[in-house]
Structure 1
């Protein structure tokens, strides 16, 4: 990715489209500005085919949705970061704070962003792709230090002594004029297997993407550990199909990084096709995973936390046909001594949206309250929570509203929907 300019933008931001793709027109523009050419904009819009609602064409440019991460275009790298400020206009330091928020959430959601060699101040200033590559390099280096995974790999070769099984047909085809050789089939226990080949391929792929000299030095150290591994043309899909079991469990993190980084090395760019490969995270799902892990960490052994469930229909139709399937983001249950759930304590729903104390009902959507009310009725639970990300600016969390929905004359049986915020920056 040498020579690609980098655009750092925020989710839901509108990126300006310049009117001409000619070299002369582009050369006259500010290379540090936030703009896209018509060709780049069309490539970005095609990403909607694989990620519905990623962006849309609006007056004056392209408006992004809730996806954050990296998109690789032919002529630029788009770095999309979460919007955390209350103001609609981007502040001077918001890009750095937003980068820190995304990294914190990825780490808090246990999505393989591990400790890197960057200091916190350097991390929020470094390009997001460099940070991802450095996390991959640290993960690959850790596996090399622990010892590379070895597997039995089948081989066929002409040898001077018998090894494994003698292959008669192969011997006749290849060694009639070489009686001193034997064509053998054998299994060799070697680190030169598909798991390590995936790491080596990813190392070779991402080398030209690195910008920081410190990351380059880490790449050289990691590459030296995998120098004897064969380079192959593995794709992200091939890495995803590698068998996973208890013996390969320690490779789970580094293989995930291989999938993600190789997905950005789309061959379509070199063949002229304008599909834009990227490494993107749906902030709704990421925030949900982040909240789930935080709730688990804060809950005692007396509670059991369940994600995405239990699923239950809201209604039934004729013939006992289920209708309107419900699946809460997080449910917290009282648990027995052995950890088995007994009865429901509360239901949480994570919303990657901004609260605004200046708006009516703090900007809480009416549809979200209806959703929680459906949970309360179906699961017979009176304690529910809507969890929002805490903004980077100061907010009086003690004033967060509690919506009470009366069910009968007894106030003790009222349904309570508590609005909560969760800090998402370090």
Structure 2
């Protein structure tokens, strides 16, 4: 499909490849960016076959002497469900379904831009948050404390100006800088609707006195407190925008600018954090991405997504790995079973659990010959209301500890 500022290619996450007409330079650029799988169409010169994987969102590819091409990748999960997974992963105990407003937008980027703008508006409506910012300066008036070492090094004994350090009460704090960075980022992305862009410009005007972040600069740290509680959801969404902007880069005249979610990571984060919440306050200790070794020489490292330990935190009780894959007619990939068998063997566990995004049955199990190890495969249906999805997580948590009937 063509657009005023170039062409637009519409893809669906993990769908079969689509043949589209593209200049070779653009096709090679898309292939090099690794946003989607791209290869020349063997049966049609001048066309490329594009296939989306687990990354969803929108990116624009600019190549010298060619019209820009925007690639939009639609998630299989409804946008409202995706935002629940995202919100829960960002803040499992503070997020409630329905707090993210996506309006009528069905595409990911417009929905995200709308949601961020609404949350920023809600956060800023009472006025910009203020806080103390540590400041170092040269001044003719003593304020705060004198930086004696700097005074000697820079002024060679002169009395004025004075090198001082003080805490300034200002709106130019980490929370406001992060919100401004997210708003600025969204205003640069392709595919933000005009009405949402207009509202984002209004939010940026509210933040005009806040120092903008330089591209590539590390985000300032912030910590949730009672004083900044009205900012929490806006900051979580802003961080998602800024973390998902990794597709932006330039190399050899090529520019790729956009926003992408990695559904593999999003699903893994949701499953592991939701399971950790189920075990919170109980007799078990949960560690995510805990490092272990397969061999006695400790040369082969492995990092299961989640390991449950006994109350002492030393003895493994269960191991879980999340896989964002749907079961096909011939079953799940065998490689997942081999990986889980290695985890169970190295950790000395009789059972291991694999959690998938969707399957033909909610649960199946395999007993390994001569080892007596059971490998359980659980399937989560993400296209259901959040309370039902969390109920399924709760059921998996019970099976992880008690053990399902096989």
TM-score, structure 1 normalization: 0.66
Corresponding residue for residue 92 of structure 1: none
Corresponding residue for residue 80 of structure 1: 73
Structure 2 CA distance for aligned equivalents of residues 105 and 56 of structure 1: 29
2:350 is equivalent to residue 382 of structure 1: yes
| Structure 1 counterpart of 2:289, from 291, 308, 323 | 308
In the alignment, structure 1 segments of 5+ residues that lack a partner are 19-35, 85-96, 173-181, 409-413
Structure 2 CA distance for aligned equivalents of residues 277 and 234 of structure 1: 16
1:286 Cα deviation (Å)?
A: 2.3
**1:79–1:128 CA contact under 8 A, matched in 2:** no
Corresponding residue for residue 206 of structure 2: 225
Q: Summarize the Cα distance change of 1:228–1:329 in structure 2 as closer, same or farther, 3 Å threshold.
A: closer
How many residues of Structure 1 are paired with residues of Structure 2 in the alignment? 345
Corresponding residue for residue 368 of structure 2: 405
**1:292–1:330 CA contact under 8 A, matched in 2:** yes
2:18 is equivalent to residue 15 of structure 1: yes
1:403 Cα deviation (Å)?
A: 0.6
- Greater Rg over alpha carbons, structure: 1
Corresponding residue for residue 345 of structure 1: 317
1:292 Cα deviation (Å)?
A: 0.7
Once the two structures are superposed, the pairs formed by residues 16-415 of structure 1 within 5 Å of their partners are: 16-18=19-21, 36-48=22-34, 54-57=36-39, 59=41, 60-74=48-62, 75-82=68-75, 84=76, 97-110=77-90, 115-119=99-103, 122-123=104-105, 125=106, 127-144=107-124, 145=126, 147-150=128-131, 151-155=133-137, 162=141, 164=143, 188-192=168-172, 196-197=176-177, 199-207=179-187, 209=189, 211-212=192-193, 215-216=196-197, 218-230=199-211, 232=212, 234-235=214-215, 237-240=216-219, 242-243=220-221, 253=236, 256-257=239-240, 259-260=242-243, 268=250, 273-299=253-279, 301-309=282-290, 311-316=291-296, 321-335=297-311, 340-341=312-313, 343-356=315-328, 358-359=329-330, 363-390=331-358, 395-397=360-362, 400-407=363-370, 414-415=372-373
Structure 2 CA distance for aligned equivalents of residues 257 and 289 of structure 1: 13
Corresponding residue for residue 404 of structure 2: none
Structure 1 CA distance for aligned equivalents of residues 116 and 273 of structure 2: 22
CA root-mean-square deviation = 4.0
TM-score, structure 2 normalization: 0.69
Q: Summarize the Cα distance change of 1:108–1:8 in structure 2 as closer, same or farther, 3 Å threshold.
A: farther
Secondary structure in 1 matching 2:324 = coil
**1:390–1:422 CA contact under 8 A, matched in 2:** yes
**2:245–2:260 CA contact under 8 A, matched in 1:** no
**1:239–1:258 CA contact under 8 A, matched in 2:** no
Q: Summarize the Cα distance change of 1:421–1:197 in structure 2 as closer, same or farther, 3 Å threshold.
A: closer
Structure 1 CA distance for aligned equivalents of residues 9 and 87 of structure 2: 24
1:290 Cα deviation (Å)?
A: 1.7
Structure 2 CA distance for aligned equivalents of residues 40 and 106 of structure 1: 32
In the alignment, structure 2 segments of 5+ residues that lack a partner are 42-47, 63-67, 385-406
1:364 Cα deviation (Å)?
A: 2.4
